[in-house]
Chain A
Amino acid sequence: MYIKRLHLKAFGKFINKKISFNNGFNIVFGENESGKSTIHNFIELIMYGFDDMSKHNKYKPWNSPLYKGYVEITHGEKNYVISRNFLLDTVQIFKKTNEANESNEENEDNETNDYLIEDIEVPGEYFFNISRISFNNTISISQLGNKTEKELAGELKNKIINLSSTKDEDISIDRILKSLNRIKEEAGSEDDEKTLLGQYALRLEELRKAKENSLISNRQVMFLAMEKKKLQSKIHELNVRIQDRNKEISDYELSLEKQKFLKAQPLMREIDSINEELKLIEGDVAACSKEDYKEASETESSLASMKNEKKRMLEEKADCISELKLNELDLCNYIPPDFDIDKLNEDYGLLKASGDKINALKEKMQLDKESIDSINIDEINKFIKDYTEVEELNSKIEINKVLTDNINYDLMKKFGKKQGWMSFFYGLSGTAFVSAAAVSCCYAYYNNNINYYYGGIGFLLGIIFFVFSWRKRNIALNTKKEIESMECQHADSILINGKMNDQINEIVKRNNYEDYLAMADAYQKKSAEKGIYEEKIELLNNDDNILNGLLEESNIIRERLNKSLSILNLSLSQDNIIEINDAYERKDSVKLQIENLKNKIEQIDKDIIRLDKEISFEEKRLTMILKANGAEDVESFKKAVELNEKHKVLLNRREYAEGILKNIIGSTDYYELKRRTMNVSEEVKEIDKQDVQLSIFRLNEEKTAILNNIEDIHNEIEDIEDNTRNLAEVEEEISFYEKKIRSFKDKIKAADLAAEKIKKISNSIKGDFMPLLKSTISDNFSYLTGGRYKSVSIDENMIITVMSEEEKDRKIELENLSGGTLDQLYLSLRIALSNILSGNQNIPLILDDSFVQYDSKRLGKSLEMLSRESERRQVILFTCQEREAELSKQMNIPFNYIKL
């Protein structure tokens, strides 16, 4: 059987890597990191799968989603393909039926021609017939290591001995049995104090004693508890007796108390009556003090005086304020600092002078006016007017006379006539020409002589004459009208003149003159009179102008004054000027006055505030005092104090009465006394109290003694319990150790049983397996050494010797063999094992860098040995050195060389 081909579809760093082996000696060369161990592991993993996840992750391809591979194995005459998907960890085995497909590259995936073998979980176990561990130990052989020959021999010897007795080169039967024995020894025995069992047995004994102790103690405690109980009942008995004695005394004392009560009764009645009285006023009595009252009334009167003082101050303040207001209203306060009083006075002087002048002028003018008024100017004017009118009328009459002169009238008449004639003449001439023209034209027409037409020019001339005629006629007509109007005018003038003369006469008469001349004389006089009048008027106008100038001047001054005065809101007047002057003079004094008043008011205000504070303090104090004493006002406070006094008197009385009562009944409550002695007769039964008390004392002494006894018992119990281990704990510990001992004993028994079984197995291995091993090793050793050594023997004492062909009887111990021979022996051992395990199947031999540390000589020998073995089985040697291949070539060893 041999591995024919590997196909790493995707495994570790390999993708689609194929490696073919032959059924002989294969040397796989690859430098470090080239993937030798990957391939080596691939074979193991495809045959056995993963045993731990670290390898799964280590070889998971990082550049392929796949994780699978195939191995082709030739087994007998048949070919098998083992396909494993590492991702899913599934394995399939195909038995190849179509040999033709063998060369097909994809035949692993072509399942149609193959036949699937089911029910094989671990192909390695199926094909090699050995477990993974055995596979790793036997098929894949690692070197023995670079050791001395002696060490090599020792290791090899151990392996052979172990194999002979346990079928495992690593398990030593001696060590196993020793281990089991150690377990037994550790447990030891109950008799041996030095061992655990012995210790436990001792502890157990102690505990049993402790338990005994605890039980005894518990009984003691029980006994003591009973004792205590008895004593407690004695105590109870004593208590009853003491109680009886005490009753005797208490009865006696009660009768004494009754006596006291009888004495106390009247006193109590008095107290009751005081209490009644107190009860009546008690509701009104407040906790108030006389001193407080005194203080409160004092405070109240001081408050009243303070309030008066305040009132006075407020009045004073009001006075001051009104005075201040007056002062502040004083004119002088409104005088601005730059006010020029001198200028004002000067202006006023000027104004006054100007006023005087104006008045004088006005007076004069008045006189003038009066004189003017005396002339009746209207009459004069009327007369003059009338006279003028008469004059005018006279002149008009004169003119009319001139106008109605006949010269113009005659001239006009002559001119008119001349014009009329001229018009007639021209008209006649015109008619003549037109007639001539018309005759001419008729001739021309009837004679048809053109020349007659020239006679038509006569028309033109006729027309011209007609025009002249018309014009002259018009002039003549106008002249005639003018003459007519002149005749009318003349007639009018005569009429008007008449009328005007009438008017003149009327005017003269109206003015009471006889005629025009008289009137003319009068006119002379009147004209002179009017001249005088007009002169006077002119003078008056002159004066008026002067007056206006003065008024203007005085107005300017007045305005100036008014301006000055308007600052002070004053009108111009003599009084005001005087007032201003006065005010100006008193300005400073008023200011001082105002200042003083203000200061005074401020002072008063301060005083008032101070006083207010004092008042409020006093008021608060008063309120506090009143509040503290529960009074609303001083009056009620007074009443309360009086009531209080009365209350005190009553209390004193009661206290006195109670003092006496206390002397009689002591600290006992009266009512308690009354209650206690209610059923007690007033009679006193005399007893010897001392005697009774003595007996009580004795009984108590006895009781104390018993109580002490009880206390002692109690302490004793506690003492016992404190010094005794808890029974439960002890028993628990006992059972704990008993269990321990039991389990140790079981363990010893188990160890014995195990040792027995192991020995039995070992013996059977020695009987069955050792001879097989011995002969198989011998066979292989002889084969590998080319018959130099004949056999290997192992005697009863596990001494291993080899026998050489040359010296047949000489047994050579391993220590005396050379390194090379030991290598051969080791290989023989490995091959023997794989043969035994696989049932002589000649399964492949895989070596991984086994000879790295070998020198050339030793390597040569090993190669020779492997070459020899490769004739029987497939040998695959993984190496990182070229020398194996080179040496093989030199030694003419046939091999299949694979370079990674």
Chain B
Amino acid sequence: MKLKFIHTSDLHLGKKFNINNFSLKERQKRRQELWNTFDEIIRTAKIKEAQYLFIAGDLTEGEYISYKELNKISEKFDSIPDTNVIITCGQSDPYNINNMYEYIEWPDNVYIIKNTETVEKLNFPNDNLCIHSISWDNHEKNEKSQSIYDISVDENKINILMLHSDIDSNERLPINIDIIKNKFDYCPFGGRHNFQHITNNIVYCGTPEPLSFEDEGEHGIIVGTLEKKKADYSLLPIAKRKFTTRQIELSVSYSFNKILDLIKFSGDTFSNTKDYVRIELTGQVNSDISMDEIEIEAKQFYYYIEFEDNYIYETEGKNYEGNEFNIIESYKHQFDNSNDKLQQQAFKLGLEVLRKEKVVK
């Protein structure tokens, strides 16, 4: 019989957002969206009648999750009594003295991996299933790879290895996949935020809801079926928003409106009104154009937009045979094409004031 399962990780419920340009309100909203996505996962488990829900680490943000919120999670798990929920503790929610998981009353269908030194085995004889896992015990590092290699498995069972690990790293539980790939029928991994298919049976599901501009692309949960030597699965996208970065190279000849249009039409409208968009501006800009105004103007076309200003103002250009006429022209010459942020800022500010003065007359 095929076992139905859902594999997720890195939900980071209660996360503190460090994205500078996010408003406080947006951070709060995004935090709530993580909760909504968690609800969505529970709902999916119910609809799909999943027998197992693998959470491969970082379910919550250990320091920031409250007792009340954990109880809420517990209640949610209680609402899917037919689904066995296996939780491994990851880097963000390590199982240690400060971990609150220990003090929460979990329903019977929830199994928290509490072993942090050796691999813990969870047997589900009804399904002939054995889950092997180890939790983290601190935020910094985990180097207990050897204990993974030492696992002995019962070949008659369906064997699962659930880890929160960055396989290619040095300290985040690195794993040589060649050692494990033939030992287990399915390895639900967490610890990387993007969906990644290492081998047929070793999969990073990625975070169901992206958390920063590093988490680009599709996000969701893995839904699949499991039998001995065979795992069928696919990514079910459930993320409410995406993070996307777009590059726009500017040229001195571009007008205000042209730059605005480039930004405006850089992605599809649906995405623009829903996703988090970062626009990386490069190239040169005519010093007559106020990029600040463009950036302010562009905001109205986006749900969220931030700019990475890697462009430089063109300061040379028109030269009337040494006849630098007025102070504005002279001012432009005062700044070389410096990449120094302060210089650029000062240049922009001064130019803005001078221009305003000229317009006011």
Contact = CB atoms under 8 A, between A and B. Distances in A.
Do A and B pair up? The answer is yes
B270 interface: no
B343 A167 contact: no
A750 B349 contact: yes
B63 interface: yes
Contact of B325 (A718, A736, A837): A837
Contacts of B16: 727-728, 731-732
A772 to B, nearest CB: 11
A219 to B, nearest CB: 9
A748 to B, nearest CB: 10
Contacts of B28: 729
Contacts of A839: 321, 323
A749 B346 contact: yes
Contact of B24 (A717, A732, A761, A762): A732
A765 B103 CA distance: 75
B334 A761 contact: yes
A176 B326 contact: no
Nearest to A171: B357
B278 interface: no
Nearest to A175: B357
Given A750-B342, A751-B346, A761-B331, A168 B326 contact: yes
Contact of A761 (B31, B327, B347, B348): B327
A784 to B, nearest CB: 24
A842 interface: no
Interface stretch (A221-229, A313-321, A854-862): A221-229
Interface in A215-256: 218, 221-222, 225-226, 228-229, 232
A735 B16 CA distance: 11
Contacts of B63: 218, 727
A134 interface: yes
**B interface, over-half SS:** helix
Nearest to B14: A728
Nearest to B356: A179
A728 B31 contact: yes
Interface in B59-81: 61, 63-64, 66-68
A762 B354 CA distance: 12
Contact of B358 (A165, A170, A739): A170
A718 B71 CA distance: 11
Contacts of B361: 170
A155 B241 CA distance: 58
Contacts of B321: 129, 839
A176 B330 CA distance: 14
- The CB with the most chain B CB atoms within 10 A, among A134, A165, A176, A183, is that of A176
Interface residues of A, number: 57
Nearest to A122: B318
A617 B105 CA distance: 72
B66 A754 contact: no
Contact of A732 (B17, B100, B325, B342): B17
B24 A736 contact: yes
Contacts of B103: 222, 225-226, 228-229
B64 A727 contact: yes
A176 B27 contact: no
A183 B349 contact: yes
Interface in A198-223: 218, 221-222
A721 interface: yes
B18 interface: yes
B349 A167 contact: no
Interface in B77-102: 98, 100, 102
B326 A750 contact: no
Interface string B1-36: 000000000000011111010001001100100000
Contacts of A747: 345, 349
Max chain B C-beta neighbours (<10 A), residue from A130, A171, A736: A171
Interface of B: 14-18, 20, 24, 27-28, 31, 61, 63-64, 66-68, 98, 100, 102-105, 318, 320-321, 323-328, 330-331, 334-335, 341-343, 345-350, 353-354, 356-358, 361
Across chains A and B, which 6 residue pairs bring their CB atoms closest together, nearest first? A754-B350, A225-B103, A168-B326, A753-B346, A728-B16, A166-B327
Given A218-B63, A750-B342, 18 more contacts: A129-B323, A134-B325, A172-B357, A175-B357, A179-B353, A222-B100, A721-B68, A727-B16, A727-B64, A746-B341, A747-B345, A749-B342, A749-B346, A750-B345, A750-B349, A753-B350, A758-B331, A761-B331
19 contacts: A130-B320, A134-B325, A168-B326, A168-B358, A221-B66, A229-B103, A726-B14, A728-B61, A747-B345, A749-B345, A750-B342, A753-B343, A754-B346, A755-B350, A758-B327, A760-B334, A761-B334, A765-B327, A837-B323
Interface of A: 125, 129-131, 134, 165-168, 170-173, 175-176, 179-180, 183, 218, 221-222, 225-226, 228-229, 232, 717-718, 721, 726-729, 731-733, 735-736, 739, 746-747, 749-755, 757-758, 760-762, 764-765, 837, 839
